[in-house]
Amino acid sequence: MVFPRSVLVTGANRGIGLGLVQQFLKHSEVQIIIATARDVSKATELNAIKDPRLHVLPLIVTCDKSIDILVKEVEKIVGEQGLNLLVNNAGILSKYTTKSEPSRAILQEQINVNSISVVLVSQKFLPLLQKGAGKSTAPDFTVGKSAIVTISSRLGSIGLNVEGSGWFEGLAYRMSKSAVNQFNRTIAVDLEADGILAVAFCPGWVQTDLGTSNALLTVGQSASALVNSFSKLTKEHNGGYFTRELEVIPF
């Protein structure tokens, strides 16, 4: 099992992001945990955690200036060792189906948050991840070296979509997650020479504001399985799309 020295989780003030931070805090190998929230002053649960390894910083993923400011702050925190693991977790789900009132705004917002912002956050953190890859003595293509993990969804799988909008009113959400899966595969190939791993995960159906209280899994169950799987990632997983238990999901 390999753990990162430093990790950054977006959208960490609630839901799965908060759960991931809580799991990372259980591992002493993880020395720096950067948890981002849109409004840090309202991130009550994060702010209540008293652990010197945790840094709570603001990030609005749809705002380029906000990303740029965060990169500078993170650079100061991680120093010459760079960043080992970026977890793109922040996301939204708007109900929208083929038969909805046509709305460019809903489609654009969904894709802006769940796909475009993941691309831009990852690109802007690339220099710090490259630094992390160069400095770490952990094995190549592990989260201890340098990795981008994107929290996607099984609903982004085109191959598995036989239900259309039947039981799930998430056309725009599905599209945004399919797009981010394409990004994951592309950046994995593009960064292979840098030794940086890129992997997409589905966390399962989880009890959060997005997943609703009807969901099957608690945040703790999903987040602990995810962090366990992150620690097992190797080169063979690069560019892949997996369940929280590291089972392959068809694209």
The nearer residue to ligand NDP, 121 or 133, going by C-beta atoms, is: 121
Whole-number Å distance between alpha carbons of 91 and 26: 24
- Pick the stretch among 139-147, 161-169, 202-210, 233-241 that binds ligand NDP (CB under 6 A): 202-210
Under rule CB under 6 A, which residues in 137-166 are in contact with ligand NDP? 151, 153
Q: Which of 157, 208, 229, 238 binds ligand NDP (CB under 6 A)?
A: 208
Write down the H helix ranges in 79-170: 104-111, 117-135
Q: Which of 45, 53, 56, 62 binds ligand NDP (CB under 6 A)?
A: 62
Q: What angle do CA 79, 83, 85 make, to 5 degrees?
A: 160
Q: Which of 40, 69, 106, 215 binds ligand NDP (CB under 6 A)?
A: 215
Whole-number Å distance between alpha carbons of 65 and 60: 9
CB of 16 to ligand NDP, least distance (A): 4
Q: Which of 82, 211, 239, 240 binds ligand NDP (CB under 6 A)?
A: 211
**Token digits of residue 151:** 């929290």
In sequence order, what are the beta bridge partners of 33? 7, 54
| Contact letters for ligand NDP, residues 86-115 (x by CB under 6 A) | ---xxxx--------------------x--
Query: Taking the CA of residue 91 as centre, how many other CA atoms within 13 Å lie in the half-sphere pointing to its CB?
Result: 27
- Pick the stretch among 72-80, 83-91, 125-133, 134-142 that binds ligand NDP (CB under 6 A): 83-91
Is 199 an interacting residue with respect to ligand NDP (CB under 6 A)? no
- Pick the stretch among 78-86, 130-138, 139-147, 210-218 that binds ligand NDP (CB under 6 A): 210-218
Is 202 an interacting residue with respect to ligand NDP (CB under 6 A)? yes
Contacts with ligand NDP by CB under 6 A: the residue count is: 27
- 3: CB partners within 8 A, 6+ apart: 24, 27, 29, 30, 143, 144, 231
The closest alpha carbon to 10, from 76, 58, 52, 69, belongs to: 58
The nearer residue to ligand NDP, 49 or 210, going by C-beta atoms, is: 210
Whole-number Å distance between alpha carbons of 83 and 100: 42
